[in-house]
């Protein structure tokens, strides 16, 4: 039997649905969970961790398209490893005061991680349509 692929799961919060995905991924892959929060300079630490451990994972699975997705997809892209972003409502929202796309910084970072990732998995068709308004070519990755 061939060795199982190893996925690096990058997230920044604990939630029941992420735990469910983690358990599901473990049925098919070896999983290395990486919690982005709770660290000083989390982006820098994630870059260093991914570079040091690059031979230990085959692809990157990222829950939510926030700042941690920008860091993880950019490093995965440079390492030539596939990456998947699971997008939720906040990630695709441009509603002022709520939504990653509501600020110029958020839109810039989103443009980077949505361009660098291999696939985008949205939790609903409405989110795919919303992201397609932001970047029409993104629908091809969904």
pLDDT tens for each residue of 9-53: 999 877 888 888 889 999 999 999 999 887 778 899 999 999 999
Identify the band that residue 1 occupies on the pLDDT scale cut at 50, 70 and 90: low
- pLDDT greater than 60 at residue 97: yes
* Region 59-72 average pLDDT: 94
Q: Please tell me the distance from the alpha carbon of residue 116 to that of residue 22, in angstroms, as a whole number.
A: 23
Per-residue confidence (pLDDT) for residue 142, from 0 to 100: 58
Q: Is there a contact between 109 and 130 (Cβ–Cβ < 8 Å)?
A: no
Per-residue confidence (pLDDT) for residue 106, from 0 to 100: 93
Per-residue confidence (pLDDT) for residue 110, from 0 to 100: 93
Supply the angle between the helices 67-78 and 42-52 in degrees, to the nearest 10: 30
> If we measure between CA atoms, which residue out of 9, 92, 14 comes closest to residue 57?
9
Q: What is the pTM of this model?
A: 0.88
């Amino acid at each position: 039997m061939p060795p199982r692929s190893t996925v690096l799961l990058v997230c920044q919060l604990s939630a029941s649905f992420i735990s469910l995905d983690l358990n599901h991924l473990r049925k098919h892959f070896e999983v290395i969970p990486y919690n982005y929060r709770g660290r000083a300079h989390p982006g820098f630490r994630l870059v260093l961790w991914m570079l040091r451990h690059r031979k230990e994972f085959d692809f990157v699975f990222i829950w939510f398209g926030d700042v941690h997705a920008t860091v993880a997809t950019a490093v995965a892209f440079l390492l030539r490893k596939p990456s998947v972003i699971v997008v939720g409502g906040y990630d695709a929202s441009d509603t002022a005061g709520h939504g990653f796309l509501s600020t110029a910084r958020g839109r810039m970072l989103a443009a980077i991680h949505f361009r660098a990732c291999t696939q985008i998995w949205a939790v609903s068709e409405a989110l795919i349509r919303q992201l397609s308004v932001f970047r029409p070519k993104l629908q091809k990755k969904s």
